[in-house]
Copies of this chain bind each other. A is one copy, B any other.
Amino acid sequence: MTDRIRQFLETRRPEGPCLVVDLDVVRQNYQAFANCLPETRVFYAVKANPAPQILSLLAEMGSCFDTASVAEIEMALAAGATPDRISYGNTIKKERDIARAWGMGVTMFAFDSIEELEKIARSAPGSRVYCRILFDCEGAEWPLSRKFGCAPEMAVDLMEQARRLGLKPYGISFHVGSQQRDVTTYDRALSIVGSIFRTLSERGIELSMVNMGGGFPTRYLRDIPAVQAYGDAIETALRRHFGNNLPETIIEPGRGMVGNAGVLQSEVILISRKSTTEGELRWVYLDIGKFGGLAETMDEAIRYPIRTPHDGDSTEPCILAGPTCDSADVLYEKTPYPLPVSLEIGDKVLFEATGAYTTTYSAVAFNGFAPLQSFYI
């Protein structure tokens, strides 16, 4: 929560649930990444929050952009980024979308399979390609599935095929898992990448780049390491596994860039109990839920800090739910959330650290409720 957001909410008094993002915080976050990883280029993961105001600010500050689709490439270009600052980072692309990206001047593509490589070779000939490897994400609050990446041995083979197909074998990418708080993970990952570089070098292919992905955390209820700790750990690991022959490096912060810049305001619609049985918890129903933007409460994965007008009063555990007629639209039930006993219907509650993965996750109109509105100040 920042003074600017507080003031905006007090003076503008927006109707309905909304997200307010303080662009000053985004600016500070970009600066922190740039300062703590001075040799690494920042590719902002557009999917975290593609608001034009955020993209323009970052483009102006010199950021590059990691994009998931042609629409995101267009947004990055519209924000002022040149095509050489854009990576098409999705390993799953329609061939006609590869062609469209290439037509717009994009020449850096992710892949993790021979099938994708063949599409890129046909529709974006001569491009730089980087291969995403599978990496187990121990220590991450949201370990990733095996959806992206291939086995490291396969990456070596694919890079040789890339050359054969007339592409530029450019680098290797990995992802340490979302909300990764263990900075030593980078050492494990870079050790694997270093060995891929060496194997390929023996076969006459000199890779240039390591894409260390995203996973940089936002502070929710638990403390997180400072960006400097990531910078130091990465620097040390790079030295250990690449010696003096350091590769170009890239990071793709999304949540780490915008998460803590946003505050989501919601209204308490109803507070009730299901029976008069002793120990029956209170249910607190809000005007936003899983389908209005808080999709990351799925499996109660992310537990947002919540502010109420009664903070400081004594609390009791509550079950927190959204406004739709959908039984799955419950935010916190397995682990109830402590909220003030004095909380009332009509009160505004604030979800902090909601700048990432909220506006775009929101459903078009589930139950007739409008998508999450947002303000960038």
A contact residues vs B (CB 8 Å cutoff): 45-47, 50, 67-72, 75, 89-95, 112-116, 119, 134, 142, 144-151, 153-154, 178, 267, 269-277, 283, 285, 287, 291, 298, 321, 323-330, 333, 345-346, 359-371
- In the bound assembly, the distance between CA atoms of A95 and B268 in angstroms comes to 11
The residue in chain B whose Cβ has the minimal distance to the Cβ of A67 is: B368
Partner of A361, one of B89, B95, B323, B366: B366
- In the bound assembly, the distance between CA atoms of A70 and B370 in angstroms comes to 11
Q: Beyond the given A69-B323, A361-B363, could you list 16 further A-B residue pairs with CB under 8 A, ordered by the A residue number? A: A47-B325, A67-B368, A69-B368, A71-B365, A71-B368, A91-B270, A94-B269, A95-B345, A115-B270, A115-B271, A145-B333, A147-B329, A148-B327, A149-B274, A178-B327, A298-B328
Contact A275 B154 (CB under 8 A): yes
5 closest Cβ contacts across the A-B interface? A71-B368, A113-B272, A151-B275, A69-B368, A144-B327
- Hey, which chain B residues are within 8 Å of A361, CB to CB? 291, 363, 366
Interface centre among A67, A68, A92, A119, by most chain B C-beta atoms within 10 angstroms, is A92
Contact A275 B365 (CB under 8 A): no
- Hey, which chain B residues are within 8 Å of A95, CB to CB? 345-346
| 11 sample A-B contacts, Cβ–Cβ < 8 Å, listed by A number | A47-B326, A94-B267, A114-B272, A145-B330, A147-B327, A149-B274, A178-B327, A291-B361, A361-B366, A362-B364, A363-B363
Contact A371 B364 (CB under 8 A): yes
- In the bound assembly, the distance between CA atoms of A365 and B360 in angstroms comes to 5
Contact B366 A47 (CB under 8 A): yes
Partner of A50, one of B68, B91, B271, B368: B368
Task: Known contacts A46-B368, A275-B154, A362-B364; decide if A147 and B283 are in contact (CB<8 Å).
Answer: yes
Contact B364 A113 (CB under 8 A): no
- Hey, which chain B residues are within 8 Å of A367, CB to CB? 47, 68-69, 72, 90, 360
The residue in chain B whose Cβ has the minimal distance to the Cβ of A280 is: B151
- Hey, which chain B residues are within 8 Å of A359, CB to CB? 364
- Hey, which chain B residues are within 8 Å of A275, CB to CB? 134, 150-151, 153-154
Contact A363 B365 (CB under 8 A): no
The residue in chain B whose Cβ has the minimal distance to the Cβ of A367 is: B68
Contact B92 A273 (CB under 8 A): no
